[in-house]
């Protein structure tokens, strides 16, 4: 069973949270509510999120301040943030949002289809990264075992390598399809850059796995997943 991604919805108005849930329910992911910046930061302490939809105008800690805290934390700094605002204060206001670390800035009322499409891109990228981390963990286990099967594993080393290669090939195929989709749809620069970063990590992992094949020489170094 494929684990669902979590999407954090941050808004101080319950009716806005209801509207976001109605729009994003079609994605069939886990939607988590937060009614303030403080509540959002608390949720981010324990859970991993694919993307954050963050209202700008909130009492107390506003969206800009909340984003600044998110970007200062090593655990959460790479989570994409989409700012939502009911008021368009002009270019300076928008620039402040991007400077705070937002990947997008959407004014209310927004097109439900557009918002859902933007969020779905980051959910898909998140799922691909999760798959990549899983493949990297398996590869590290193989490397640390010096080419021997893990304790309690009945598969021969060659069988483990074949399984790793097949799983990685599936992720590579999905990542390639996603990159083509982003190119076709002229997606946000941030999404395109994230997809390119994912492809580079996949290339490094493929090289490391290929080096484990018999007759290829010394053990490789698994690429960092940061």
The residue ranges of every structural domain in the chain are: 6-110, 120-210
Does residue 90 come out as left (phi exceeding 0), alpha (psi in the -120 to 50 range) or beta? left
Nearest to 34 by CA among 224, 89, 46, 26: 46
**The CATH number of domain 6-110, selected from 3.40.190.10, 2.40.37.10, 3.30.465.10, 3.40.50.2300:** 3.40.50.2300
Q: What pLDDT is stored for residue 107 in this prediction?
A: 80
Q: pLDDT (tens digit, 0 to 9) for every residue of the chain, 226 residues total? A: 558 999 999 999 999 999 999 999 999 999 999 999 999 999 999 999 999 999 988 999 999 899 999 999 998 988 999 998 876 665 566 666 666 667 788 887 888 998 999 899 899 888 888 888 787 777 777 766 654 444 444 445 566 667 677 777 777 777 777 777 766 555 566 677 677 767 777 777 777 767 666 554 444 444 444 5
Tokens of 119: 């969020």
Nearest to 175 by CA among 154, 196, 149: 196
Distance CA 177, CA 135 (A): 19
């Amino acid at each position: 069973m494929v684990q669902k991604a979590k999407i954090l919805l941050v808004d101080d108005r319950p009716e806005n949270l209801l509207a976001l849930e109605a729009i994003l329910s079609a994605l069939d992911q886990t939607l988590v509510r937060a009614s303030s910046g403080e509540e959002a930061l608390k949720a981010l302490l324990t859970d991993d999120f694919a993307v954050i939809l963050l209202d700008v105008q909130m009492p107390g800690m506003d969206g800009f301040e909340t984003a600044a805290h998110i970007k200062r934390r090593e655990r959460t700094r790479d989570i994409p943030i989409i700012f939502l605002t009911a008021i368009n204060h002009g270019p300076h206001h928008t620039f402040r949002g991007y400077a705070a670390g937002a990947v997008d800035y959407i004014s209310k009322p927004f097109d439900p289809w557009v918002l859902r499409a933007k969020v779905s891109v980051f959910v898909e990228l998140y799922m691909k990264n999760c798959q990549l981390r899983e493949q990297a963990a398996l590869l590290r286990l193989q490397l640390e075992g010096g080419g021997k099967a893990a304790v309690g594993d009945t598969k021969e080393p060659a069988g483990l390598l074949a399984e790793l290669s097949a799983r990685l090939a599936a992720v590579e195929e999905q990542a390639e399809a996603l990159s083509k989709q982003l190119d076709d749809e002229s997606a946000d620069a941030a999404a395109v850059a994230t997809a390119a970063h994912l492809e580079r990590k996949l290339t490094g992992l493929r090289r490391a796995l290929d080096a484990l094949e018999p007759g290829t020489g010394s053990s490789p170094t698994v690429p960092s997943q940061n």
